[in-house]
Structure 1
Amino acid sequence: MTTNPADDRADTPAADTEAANEAHDDADTQVAGAADNDDEHAGGMFPRKVVEKLRKQNASLRERAKTAEATVAHLQRQAADKAIRAAGLKPAAVWAVAELGDVLDEQGGVDDEKLAEAVRRACTELGVQPPKPKPTPRPGVGALRSGTGGPHSDGRPSGFAAAFAPQNRQ
């Protein structure tokens, strides 16, 4: 019985480690165990074309997921900004003391209680206050008048037609 020196080398633990490292290094350039023919299945592995197609799909899906995450974050920020403006503050004041994640609930929506707390923190830490609401105007007090309230003191009629009518010259 003749022994091949290559067979002896493959039986040693160091040779097994070397072979595993070589296979791992070559995994990026070729599918482990795949033959040069792309259509052949070697050792239950997928053909190179299938693996490359799956890698491209994976990269495409990862890019789509990143885009979707960015869109969701933008929409969450818009909703929070709108609620902050409704509270009477500029969003930059709240974002100076809080992060977007601090005002969101478990489902990713704006939590009113957390947002109110962030607004209170912005008011106390930065010294900003929401503007005081303007009092509602009372009719007839301080309101503008159109000038059609009644006849002039000299007897001329008031109104739109009278404004453009020829003046009575006496």
Structure 2
Amino acid sequence: MPERDAPPTVTAVIALGANLGDREDTMRIAVEDLARLPLVSHVHASAPVESVAVKLDGPDEDAPAYLNAVALLQTRLAPTVLLAYLHAIENRHGRERRERWGDRTLDLDLIAFGEVTSDDPELLIPHPRAAEREFVLAPWLGLDRDAVLPGHGRVDAVLAQLRQQQ
């Protein structure tokens, strides 16, 4: 029987966020859940940062604040399979999808998957709003000073430009 080549290992960037319940504990357990996924290794998470909730109409100071972090991991999973696992982890932590950009116990977004780009509505990578989110870019940069957001360039430059616009 011929040997099949193992899929290549890719670095995936996952954004974590929570603004309901015990945010810190939920995110800590979610990172542990990521580390237990098959074909996943070397999971590293940033320190959490707090940010104002962003709703469809913009920042909402009255909504519970978000705790955000970024995790980098090595994986041989296909991006669609990894995304399905992310949704399963969210569900285990009580995520309800009642309203777009609503409050949530846990949000896991696939921000980047190596150099892969996809405009498939079921798999948008890189994440279409990643370049607009300081709470994603700053923690990511803290984990990887040479990080690159496909289609946008170096994360440090994207973050600097974002901060200039604010």
Query: TM-score, length-normalised on structure 2?
Result: 0.21
Higher strand share: 2
Higher helix share: 1
Query: TM-score, length-normalised on structure 1?
Result: 0.20
